[in-house]
């Protein structure tokens, strides 16, 4: 059964406030996004499997530990790109595969325009990365794509989530665990998260006009 894990930490509260503030400049926005993604990644990887292997310190021989599963990072373009580097800092051996999805502003439904997944064997564990989990439409489309690829274990990482998106994932993909920094109140009539932070991609890449 799917679970939602909210990262309760004072540093999360502080960096979220920077992201939400409409006067935050793009460079500072990206910096806080990076830091929050790092904190979220640290929490979401706590249950990853490891195995022993022999190493030698300057003092003596011993056993270290290494990750067992082949890991894939699946950023949903374009905002998900910001969450890749913090994940790679923690898991440098991870593979990065891109999915291009955008929301039709008229219908609020996801449009799948790009997929870069290999034809060979799938990763054992995939992290779907998207700063904003709003309706859940893009996330579920990504999960379906990964299911067709053959991925057995998928986790969703989002900075801010809406109850509507969480409910959709729990309903349609109950095997997917959600990790987020905060769950906001609701979606507005335009399907934006309230209070949210606006369009994460526009604010991150300075394309607000």
103 is catalytic: yes
> Which of 175, 101, 96 lies closest to 135 in space, CA to CA?
101
From the candidates 24, 30, 78, 199, which is the catalytic residue?
Answer: 199
From the candidates 20, 69, 70, 202, which is the catalytic residue?
Answer: 202
69 is catalytic: no
From the candidates 5, 20, 30, 103, which is the catalytic residue?
Answer: 103
202 is catalytic: yes
How many Å apart are CA 12 and CA 14, to the nearest integer? Answer: 5
Tokens of 6: 């909210």
107 is catalytic: yes
- The angle that helices 10-20 and 26-44 make with each other, rounded to 10 degrees, is 150
* E strand residue ranges, the chain: 4-6, 50-56, 61-67, 71-77, 95-96, 99-103, 110-115, 125-129, 132-133, 153-161, 177-183, 186-187, 193-194
Cβ-proximal residues to 152 (8 Å cutoff; 6+ apart), any chain: 122, 124
From the candidates 8, 50, 107, 109, which is the catalytic residue?
Answer: 107
- Residues classed as catalytic: 103, 107, 199, 202
């Amino acid at each position: 059964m799917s679970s939602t894990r909210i990262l309760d930490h004072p540093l999360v509260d502080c960096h979220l406030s920077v992201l939400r503030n409409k006067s935050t400049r793009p460079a500072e926005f990206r910096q806080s996004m990076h830091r929050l993604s790092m904190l979220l990644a640290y929490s979401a990887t706590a249950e990853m499997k490891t195995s022993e292997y022999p190493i030698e310190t300057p003092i003596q021989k011993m056993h270290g530990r290494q990750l067992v599963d082949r890991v894939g990072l699946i950023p949903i373009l374009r905002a998900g790109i910001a969450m890749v580097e913090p994940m790679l800092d923690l898991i440098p051996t991870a593979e990065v595969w891109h999915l291009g999805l955008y929301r039709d502003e008229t219908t609020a439904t996801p449009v799948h325009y790009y997929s870069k997944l290999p034809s060979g064997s799938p990763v054992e564990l995939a992290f779907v990365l998207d700063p904003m989990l709003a309706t859940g439409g893009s996330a579920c489309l990504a999960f379906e794509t990964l299911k067709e690829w053959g991925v057995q274990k998928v986790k969703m990482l989002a900075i801010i989530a809406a109850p509507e998106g969480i409910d959709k994932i729990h309903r349609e993909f109950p095997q997917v665990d959600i990790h987020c920094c905060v769950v906001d109140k609701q979606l507005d009539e335009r399907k934006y998260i309230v209070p949210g932070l606006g369009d994460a991609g526009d604010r991150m890449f300075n394309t607000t006009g």
